[in-house]
Structure 1
Amino acid sequence: MRAVRAELSKLSTLPSVWLAALLAVVVPTGIALLNRGVAGPDRGYQELAFGVMGVIVLGVVAVSSEYLAESADSGGGRQLTTSLAAVPSRLRFLAAKALAVVLVAVPLAFTAAAATMGVVQARLDAGRLAGVVCYWTYTALLAFAITVLLRHGIVPLTVLLVNTSVVSVTFLLTKVTPLANYFPDMAGVRMFVGKVANDDVSISPLVGLLVMSAWVAGLLVLAGAVFARRDA
């Protein structure tokens, strides 16, 4: 637990993490305000799908910050070198960092869900709320794992944010092949959104959970294996 507390402390010192928290709450509630006149069974939940922008930033910077050079007073090295000196086991270090991301992402998801559904004046369904929290947490871990594999944050941050907010490449791919519905974001969103717009493929919340779980587990295992074997 000492390693987890250290990782939480590091996250709390990063301005980008506070920006991530702000995005996580402001983005879905802001979209909900703009869509106040829109009715539908997924009212509020569709907006929460966009709020993952905040946890994407969280997952990316939790890793990318380790590769930034420290100040000259600290020797000019990278934070990762200091972190591995404190926690020599790479897998333990990575697990502590991933758990710290989860411990931040979960309350953010609850807060954003409560704020967004308050704006649209809709009751929070317990099952769908669990889906939102799971989707947000898994998205943060996906961003985390991809950043571990790439060792820098620019590419994963850009690609994941654009895919979430501007042009959903995975959604466009569903028009080419129905298999694209089993990308983690497309399957995972079914945990709390009944039907994706213009989509003819039916995926139950349970199947969405299983598919996204498999993606997250696979990428985390791959990230751990790569991180344990390569040079810091």
Structure 2
Amino acid sequence: MRALAAEVSKLASLPAVWIAAAAGVLVPGVIAAITASSALGAITRGAGTTAGIDTGYQELAFGVVGAIILGVVAMSSEYFTDSAESGGGRQITTSLTAVPSRLRLLLAKTAAVAIASALLAVAASAVTMSVIRVVLGEHAPALGTGDVPRLAGVVCYWVYTALLAFGVTVLTRHGIVPLAVFVVNTSVVTVTYLLTKITPLANYLPDMAGVRMFIRELDDGTAGIGPLAGCLVMTGWVAALLVIAVVAFTRRDA
């Protein structure tokens, strides 16, 4: 527990983590305000009566960029080289001195990332859905018990995405490559989404499977993956990557 508490405290001390938190809350909130305003305009013109079933949820899919930054920085910060005045060392040396067991250290960091990304997802979901209701008013989709598993799916998706980014950073020991790859793939038209137009197997890539936990209308021409199947597929990807990351981290030099 002390190792976990130390990693949580370490995360909270990183400026980049607060940038990630701001991005995670503001990105989906701002996009939600824009799309809700557009939907309200269409409703006012008589082009519809309510917003789409995925209103708010689609915006939260883009907001996962905050979780990505969090997952990357949690590990890449360990490999930053201090200034010459500070000795020119790296945080990973201090971390391994405090927690000699590499497995325990990595498990503590994994748990800290999962907890932080879950809290960020909850905050982002609350803000985004509130924005939708403020802008659309009575035209906003009603939230009911059926939305509970969808919102849980959002949290799960954010946590899993943060862990994927974390695992890749463990392997690369550098944040630029995983950050660039993951952020680009959360743009309006993702690389993995384009791949689904080429082969249906792309639907089993982690992000495409994961969004099915909360997105109901996907224009990918398939209907074989439901929310539970999507969760299981993404769980498999995350578990496999973390196992590889653990093996690599425990066997190679720091």
TM-score, structure 1 normalization: 0.97
Q: Does 1:5 align with 2:11?
A: no
Q: Does 1:141 align with 2:160?
A: no
Task: Tell me how far apart the structure 2 counterparts of residues 203 and 31 of structure 1 sit (CA, whole Å).
Answer: 27
Q: Which residue of 2 aligns with 1:59?
A: 71
Q: Which residue of 1 aligns with 2:124?
A: 112
Task: Tell me how far apart the structure 2 counterparts of residues 203 and 118 of structure 1 sit (CA, whole Å).
Answer: 29
**Match of 2:215, SS?**
coil
Equivalent of 2:230 in 184, 208, 213: 208
Give ranges in structure 1 of 5+ residues lacking alignment.
Answer: none
Contact 2:196–2:220 (CA<8 Å) still a contact in 1?
A: no
Q: Which residue of 2 aligns with 1:229?
A: 251
Contact 1:142–1:216 (CA<8 Å) still a contact in 2?
A: yes
Q: Which residue of 2 aligns with 1:187?
A: 209
State the structure with more CA Rg: 2
**Match of 2:119, SS?**
helix
Contact 1:105–1:140 (CA<8 Å) still a contact in 2?
A: yes
Residues matched between the structures, number: 232
CA deviation vs aligned residue, 1:180-226 (integer Å, no higher than 9, x gap): 00000000000000122343343100000000000000000000001
RMSD, aligned α-carbons: 1.2
Task: Tell me how far apart the structure 2 counterparts of residues 103 and 70 of structure 1 sit (CA, whole Å).
Answer: 27
Residues 210 and 198 from structure 1, CA distance in 2 versus in 1: closer, same or farther, beyond 3 angstroms? closer
Alpha-carbon distance, 1:167 to partner: 4.2
Structure 1 segments, 4+ long, off by >6 Å, are none
2:29 maps to amino acid: T
**Match of 1:103, SS?**
helix
Contact 1:178–1:201 (CA<8 Å) still a contact in 2?
A: no
Contact 1:68–1:79 (CA<8 Å) still a contact in 2?
A: yes
CA deviation vs aligned residue, 1:64-100 (integer Å, no higher than 9, x gap): 0000012334321111011001101101000000111
**Match of 1:165, SS?**
coil
**Match of 1:98, SS?**
helix
Q: Does 1:78 align with 2:90?
A: yes
Task: Tell me how far apart the structure 2 counterparts of residues 56 and 104 of structure 1 sit (CA, whole Å).
Answer: 11
Task: Tell me how far apart the structure 1 counterparts of residues 189 and 33 of structure 2 sit (CA, whole Å).
Answer: 22
Give the share of equivalent positions with the same residue, in percent. Answer: 63
1:57 maps to amino acid: I
Q: Does 1:174 align with 2:186?
A: no
Task: Tell me how far apart the structure 2 counterparts of residues 30 and 73 of structure 1 sit (CA, whole Å).
Answer: 42
Give ranges in structure 2 of 5+ residues lacking alignment.
Answer: 40-50, 134-140
Contact 1:181–1:201 (CA<8 Å) still a contact in 2?
A: no
2:161 maps to amino acid: T
1:213 maps to amino acid: T
Alpha-carbon distance, 1:162 to partner: 0.4
Q: Which residue of 2 aligns with 1:196?
A: 218
TM-score, structure 2 normalization: 0.89
Q: Which residue of 2 aligns with 1:17?
A: 17
1:185 maps to amino acid: D
